[in-house]
Chain A
Amino acid sequence: GQQVMQIPQYQHVQEGEDFTTYCNSSTTLSNIQWYKQRPGGHPVFLIQLVKSGEVKKQKRLTFQFGEAKKNSSLHITATQTTDVGTYFCAGVRGGGSNYKLTFGKGTLLTVNP
């Protein structure tokens, strides 16, 4: 079945440093979504990418979808303590049903103030 791999599993940074998490799929994706889960909380939708090579920004967060639509990345510039949490990517297999996402295992980000 479809697999979505995320690296790294954990990342600890000093406040102000940049952070990047990567997502790779074993199959071509029709779209990819990113979620953030604060410690003890629930996942919250951040963004969806659909087009090959697409880049979207939300303030200090930059999301990219690869040209082959098999990988994606989330980059945070100048991390803050409010960025702490687990970041999940989730993809829909190309040609597959759009209602069923496959989630990666997430990257846990901790920020030292």
Chain B
Amino acid sequence: NAGVTQTPKFRVLKTGQSMTLLCAQDMNHEYMYWYRQDPGMGLRLIHYSVGEGTTAKGEVPDGYNVSRLKKQNFLLGLESAAPSQTSVYFCASSYLGYGYTFGSGTRLTVV
């Protein structure tokens, strides 16, 4: 029972490069989320999805795009990485908003 799996776990990007973070859940949850965590800032919602084929912006969506083509997968894309996007990224899923299950995170450094 894997829960929420994030890949990759670590990544170093150069400014301007692009990448995609993958989140996969095996709990048949409708809701999925992408958060970033920075020191002293807590968890900030980037984008979320309430079902396959739907996405919506969170509080810090600029510079990111997402897709939810399959119910179990939620992809986070950075088209042109900037140093300000250096962070730890967490994916989460939930059953109707109750008790989020988080992945183990992706540590991204943009140089």
Contact = CB atoms under 8 A, between A and B. Distances in A.
Interface of A: 1, 9, 33, 35, 41-45, 48, 88, 90, 92, 97-101, 103-106
A43 B100 contact: yes
Contacts of B41: 105
A98 B44 CA distance: 17
Contacts of B98: 48
Given A99-B97, A105-B41, A106-B42, A43 B48 contact: no
Q: Is the interface of A mostly helix, strand, loop or mixed?
A: loop
A42 B90 contact: yes
Contacts, number: 51
Chain B contact-residue range equals 20 to 34
Contact of B101 (A45, A90, A101): A45
Top 8 A-B residue pairs of the complex, sorted by shortest distance between their CB atoms:
A105-B42, A98-B97, A45-B99, A103-B43, A99-B97, A42-B102, A99-B31, A43-B102
B104 interface: yes
Given A42-B104, A103-B42, 19 more contacts: A1-B59, A33-B99, A42-B105, A43-B43, A43-B90, A43-B102, A44-B102, A45-B99, A45-B101, A90-B43, A98-B96, A99-B48, A99-B94, A99-B96, A100-B45, A101-B97, A103-B43, A105-B40, A105-B41
